[in-house]
Amino acid sequence: MNHPISRLATPFLPVQERDDKSQQEQFKDFTLDKIRQKAYETGIKLSRTSYIWKTGIAIEHNEDAHILPIYGMSDDELAATANHNFAAEIGKPDNLKENIRYSQKAQNLDHLLERERLVSNAATRSVVFSPPLVSRMDTGIIGRGTLNIIQGAYGSHKSRLAELFAALMLTSDPNNPHFLGFSRSMLERYCVCYIDTERNQSEELPFAIQGIKLKAGYTVIDQPPDFRFTSIKAIERGHRFDGIEAFLSHVREQTTLHMFCLIDVVTDAVSDFNDAKESMRLYDFIGNLCDKHDATFLLVIHQNPGTEKARGHTGTEAANKASTVIQIGFEKDASGNDTDLIRLRYLKLRRGKRPEPVYLQYREDANGLVLAEADQIAAHINHRKHKADTEDLAERLVSLLSDGPLHKHEVWTVLESEFKAKNATIRERLKTIIEQHPPMYDDEGRAVRLSDYKESRNQFYKLVTID
């Protein structure tokens, strides 16, 4: 009967005794003393220097190498394995998958332990928060290393606003009035990376790039080294993540500056913006890029038609992940038609209390957005208050209910007084807010919704955090 060890096929096969000294010399580096000794004890004669393992490639001599369990067996235990098909068992796909899974778990553990070490070291020192990259009137708007959103309906100038931020990060004159009161630090330079997904590359994208350069103080023929741009429009959607990462990795190799990255429009980076898993994968991907490349991201996204919500699960997840969410859109007149007044509204600001909306207009002669006139703004705000718009009511409810639930009569009285509206109008608007869940964020930047409940004969309104 063949000895069980001699029956082992690939991936493990001992080489039998070789008398030729040159062959012994060839295999001496693969000698494992313990394995050789055990093999000798179990009756297999091997030369002292000609024992190797075959795993497709030879394994170098290593005293700490893993020794197969059969070499710890007694003679009786080894004899019991005589008819066992070791080769078939070793080659099972399930075992291969298990090995891969174990390897991945080990890598993940190494990564997590390294994160623990870094955070532990940082937690022993005084934490100094970096100043915001973009501010307005002493309020931080975009923080370093964060993910930020501009959302709006079709034709709402959201891309122009994104281009304005790109120009602001490039310019040497951040106090220029055409930056609408937004400012950045003069003490640091940035590398701006603009990634487009939908414009044609013969006219539309070159024109947008020209506009950014002109607003930043360059001429059309200038090629600023810290301004990089491309389009992923021609890349298949399934490969766009790889394309984005490849481009940003290439830029990172060429600069040490902090990277300010814009993706316009981010829903075009995924195959299905209604797929929750793909949307979460997108923002995990972008969040990792922030850390990997020392980058800040500003993402442009469409709103669903007729609503204030950003498109699909990608938009929902964007609101959850983003540090700042800015909404831009045309204001309506009494008939529900668009006016030429544009409102820039902060839906979410994780860094602090949300500022008042900014009112803008688009002017052809400026080829961009400008601040609206004060009298026009005052007239429109007065109109909105009398209209008791659900957006304004929702925004007021966040502050009104910030300390906890309030009796319904108290809420109605406050809103009737402030919006100069009838009780029936206020109650109807509040019902709409409860049913439609317009975007609402508390002072901590958490998404909330309006809810009502009853205790005995008393009825209350409260804000509920959305998980």
Predicted confidence at residue 422, as pLDDT, reads 87
234 against 61, higher pLDDT: 234
pLDDT tens sequence across 42-95: 444 444 333 333 333 333 444 444 445 555 566 666 666 666 655 555 545 556
Give the model's confidence band at 169: pLDDT under 50 very low, under 70 low, under 90 confident, else very high.
very high
pLDDT reading at 139 higher than 70: yes
For residue 206, the model assigns a pLDDT of 95
Least confident of 77-86, 239-248, 328-337, 455-464: 77-86
What 8-state DSSP symbol labels residue 52? Answer: -
The pLDDT of residue 318: 80
Minimum mean pLDDT among 3-7, 74-78, 274-278, 343-347: which range?
A: 3-7
For residues 295-304, average pLDDT: 91
pLDDT for position 103: 80
Strands 324-332 and 134-136: unpaired
**Sheet containing 134-136: which strands, arranged edge to edge?**
139-142, 134-136, 182-184
pLDDT in the model for residue 451 = 92
| Length of the chain measured in residues | 467
**Whole-number average pLDDT of the chain:** 80
Top-confidence residue, 353 or 223? 223
Write the CA distances from 52 to 46, 127, 259, integer angstroms. Answer: 10, 55, 52
d(Cα 110, Cα 104) in Å, to the nearest integer? 10
Q: What is the mean pLDDT of residues 96-107?
A: 76
Instruction: Tell me the average pLDDT across 312-324.
Output: 83
In sequence order, the 6+-apart residues with CB closer than 8 A to the CB of 78 are 3, 4, 5, 42, 70
Residue 28 confidence class, pLDDT cut points 50, 70, 90:
very low
pLDDT of residue 316: 79
Better-predicted residue by pLDDT, 68 or 184: 184
Q: Which of 3-12, 260-269, 339-348, 412-421 has the weakest average pLDDT?
A: 3-12
In the chain, what percentage of residues exceed pLDDT 90? 38
Q: What is the pLDDT of residue 52?
A: 39
d(CA 36, CA 44): 9
Q: Say yes or no to pLDDT of 127 above 70.
A: yes
Stretch (H or E) spanning 341: strand 338-349
Q: Which of 381, 311, 378, 308 is nearest to 347 (CA)?
A: 308
Which pLDDT score is estimated for 111?
86
pLDDT in tens, 420-442: 888 988 999 899 999 988 888 88
Query: Residues 316, 322, 323, 325: is their CA dihedral positive or negative?
Result: negative
Q: Which two tokens stand for residue 170?
A: 């490039």
Mean pLDDT for 87-110 is 70
At 337-394, the pLDDT tens digits run: 888 899 999 988 987 788 889 999 999 888 889 999 988 888 877 766 666 778 788 8
Out of 80-84, 286-290, 302-306, pick the least confident.
80-84
pTM of the model: 0.68
pLDDT confidence of residue 309: 75
- Categorize the per-residue pLDDT at 107 as very low, low, confident or very high, splitting at 50, 70 and 90: confident
405 Cβ contact partners less than 8 Å away, ≥ 6 residues apart? 453, 460, 461, 462
Which range has highest mean pLDDT (189-198, 303-312, 451-460)?
Answer: 189-198
In the predicted model, is pLDDT for residue 334 greater than 80?
no
| Cα–chain center distance at 231 | 19
